Structure 1
Amino acid sequence: MGYRPLEIVIQSAQGLKYVNHVKKMKPYAVVFICDDNNNPISSMKTTAVDKDGGSNPKWNFPVKFNINIAKAQQNRHDLVVKLKSHHKSHSDKDIGEVRVPIAELLASCGDAEAEEDDEKKVISKSVVTLDGTSEEGTLAFSYKFGRTVEHPPAHRPPVQAPPRKSRRHKIKEAAKGFVEVVVGGLAVGVGGELVSEMMNGSSGPDAVPDGDDQNGDIPNDDELLSTVNGGKKIIPSS
């Protein structure tokens, strides 16, 4: 029979059981599809926390599932909405849940093989406490089935944007680049002087100057002594 996309908007809740003793209740909803063994068969979608909603939260949270029509008509799939109260200091508290057979939603749309519904249907369901002993509050949501397809669309993971760098990290990178430029400039300056000296035949302040001395005409000891002592030869004492 194929699959039909099911588009749901979790709109709001009214008159929820107040599970907080001191602080204001901050409700949110967890939405998923489960099988007849109560095992989730879809990803779990979570609404934002309504920090000011209390017992009457609003979300208007859209979610989409791909429904196996054959299994849904066999009453093997349920839409589940778990309602919880958010806490910072300890674990979140359960408020209750809503469970609706997908077969019931399909039946309200007529032919399971029909084309895409023109309009979303809005319904309200009672919220049952987790122990199943009472109903307290209602949940309103809208739903709409899309066109039947042979296979569900392939799941494409969302493209993640690269993490934004903090201002402190940007300043650190800029400082690092500045140091590298300064150090690199010094290295180029010193290296340039060395290369220039090598090209001119000099390797430093103590290098032998260009001239006949480099061609083998090296003065003897007498010439050196004569130059240093004004032409007077020094005779070492015995």
Structure 2
Amino acid sequence: MDYRPFEINLTCLEGLEIVHCLFKVHAYAVVSIVGDSSSRQQTPVGKYFGDKPTWNFPMRFCLEESKLRQNQLVLMVQLRYSRIFGGDKTIAEVHIPFKKLLDNCGDNIWDTQFGVHQVIMTPSIKPPRGYLYFSYKFGEKIVNWDGSEGF
């Protein structure tokens, strides 16, 4: 099968006040690919600059080329925060079809692109607002890659 490397760097979350009991929460992001059950990576807890959690955390994935071209893969970023009791909580999500990201590159598929996407809030925080900032790029297609060696 043919695969294409994909790199994403989650920069920061802006315009979404994340406060719990008068304290800023320990926000982090979980990135996965809908359509590929084996993909899941997580940022460390963000540092705060003003009211923005900032990660500046790069991640790499390898996407199946045919699923990418047929619009069968979706980038999902869950914005979560750590809680002492009761486990971690998802506060917002971002869903972006990979085909949209690929098409946005045009002829510059290997150049770093910059993106901003509005977050989808969970019902517990209203009104919906906030933006996730990130950069991304696709690598050259790997023909007949079996996944046994790195990319």
* TM-score of the aligned structures, taking structure 2 as reference length: 0.83
Does structure 1 retain, via aligned residues, the 8 Å contact 2:47–2:54? no
Match of 1:124 among 116, 120, 124: 116
Q: How many residues align?
A: 148
| In structure 1, distance between residues paired with 2:133 and 2:148 | 28
Residues 84-233 of structure 1: pairs in structure 2 closer than 5 A: 84-110=80-106, 117=110, 119-131=111-123, 135-152=128-145, 154-155=147-148
Distance in structure 1 (CA, Å) of the matches to 2:81 and 2:118 = 18
* Larger Rg computed on CA atoms: 1
- Residues 53 and 43 from structure 1, CA distance in 2 versus in 1: closer, same or farther, beyond 3 angstroms? farther
Q: Is the 8 A contact 1:3 1:148 kept in 2?
A: yes
Identity, in percent, stands at: 36
1:43 maps to a residue whose letter is S
Deviates more, 1:47-56 or 1:2-11: 47-56
What are the ranges of 5 or more consecutive residues in structure 1 without an aligned counterpart? 158-238
Q: For the Cα contact (< 8 Å) 2:31–2:76, is it kept in 1?
A: yes
How is 1:35-50 mapped onto 2 (pairs within 5 angstroms)? 35=35, 40-50=36-46
Task: Give the structure-1-normalised TM-score.
Answer: 0.55
Opposite residue 11 of structure 2, the aligned amino acid is: Q
Tell me the SS of whatever aligns to 2:24.
Answer: coil
What amino acid sits opposite 2:99 in the alignment?
A
Name the amino acid aligned to 1:46. Q
More strand by share: 2
Give runs of ≥4 in structure 1 deviating > 4 Å.
none
Give the alignment's Cα RMSD to 1 decimal: 2.6
Task: Note the alpha carbon deviations across 1:65-97, whole angstroms, 9 max, x for none.
Answer: 111222122221001110011122332222101
Quick check: 1:77 aligned with 2:70?
no
| CA drift at 1:29 | 0.3
Higher helix share: 1
* Structure with larger RCO (C-alpha < 8 A, sep 6+): 2
**Maintained 8 Å contact 1:66/1:152:** no
Tell me the CA shift for residue 134 of structure 1.
5.6
Structure 1: distance between partners of 2:46 and 2:138: 27
| 1:51 to partner: Cα distance | 5.3
Establish whether residue 25 from structure 1 lines up as the match of residue 18 from structure 2: no
Gaps of 5+ in 2: none
